[in-house]
Structure 1
Amino acid sequence: MNNVVLVGRLTKDPELRYIPNSGTPVATFTMAIDRDYKKKDGTKETDFIPIEVIGKAAEFCANYITKGRLVAIQGNLRVDRYQTQDGENRTFTKVSGRSVQALDYPKDNQQGTNNITNPGLDPNGFQAIDDDDIPF
């Protein structure tokens, strides 16, 4: 079983690119995650985990998740193997995210409402209709 769940903060805004020929969106970013324990001097160590998200979740990340936001990622661990130009074998470990959830609100919106809105629905744009022909 290969399942990873991480909670941490983004170190920078996600980078969005599209896979050639298929047009599938791919977002990449790094999460900073504090370890559970403190060192003798009282400080915590932080791990910086590379994340890759594909599909609609990638577009969500690129549009709504920014540097410093607290997010939860559910996915699996991937180990990519490649060879350098010098012929040296290398490995690169990352988390392939399937599900992304924002756990806090954007810093410019501290009142507890989310900036993610549907442009077709503007709750401030509705007006009461005073019409006797409406049956309800």
Structure 2
Amino acid sequence: MNKVILLGRLTRDPDVRYSSGENSTAVARYTLAVDRRFRREGDSATADFIGCVAFGRQAEFAEKYLRQGTKIAITGRIQTGSYTNREGRKVYTTDVVVEEQEFAESKSAEHPREQGVTPQADMDGFMTIPDGVDEDIPFM
């Protein structure tokens, strides 16, 4: 079975291109920085930089919504390949072909509010509504 699950942040905006021909397909390439779970005592945090490629609707989603720093979770499969570069040397590649991708944090976590009151969660998991925002809640 060839199945990969990754959680990480985009190192840069996706590079999206469209195949030529009558039925052009979107192809998005991006790199995920995935933190290593374990590290030696005293060592700084390390990450693996994993190349990902998405096709069709997944690529269009990446083009529209994903940006550098976005934290996402993906599932897919590993695909290896090779090609001969301009110097005549054979280059081997390993990519994760994206089957599913989704946001792993809310937009507010990605871009914290600079002003205003951020609701806090109580011990029971429900948020307390700050004073003065009752008029913004449609069902009260």
How many residue pairs match? The answer is 112
Deviation of the 1:42 alpha carbon: 3.7
SS of 1:44's equivalent in the other structure is coil
Per-residue deviation, residues 7-33 of structure 1 (Å, max 9, x unmatched):
000111111110111310111110000
Opposite residue 19 of structure 1, the aligned amino acid is S
Does residue 73 of structure 2 align to residue 72 of structure 1?
A: yes
Opposite residue 26 of structure 2, the aligned amino acid is P
TM-score of the superposed pair, with normalisation by structure 2: 0.73
Instruction: Specify the alignment match of 1:40 in structure 2.
Output: 41
Gapped runs of 5+ residues in structure 1? 113-136
State the identity as a percent.
31
Matches within 5 A, 1:1-136: 1-21=1-21, 22-106=23-107, 107-108=110-111
d(CA) in 2 for partners of 1:15 and 1:88? 25
d(CA) in 1 for partners of 2:37 and 2:103? 21
Counting strand residues as a fraction of each chain, which structure ranks higher? Answer: 1
SS of 1:72's equivalent in the other structure is strand
d(CA) in 1 for partners of 2:112 and 2:42? 35
SS of 2:62's equivalent in the other structure is helix
Opposite residue 48 of structure 2, the aligned amino acid is D
Gapped runs of 5+ residues in structure 2? 120-140
SS of 2:37's equivalent in the other structure is strand
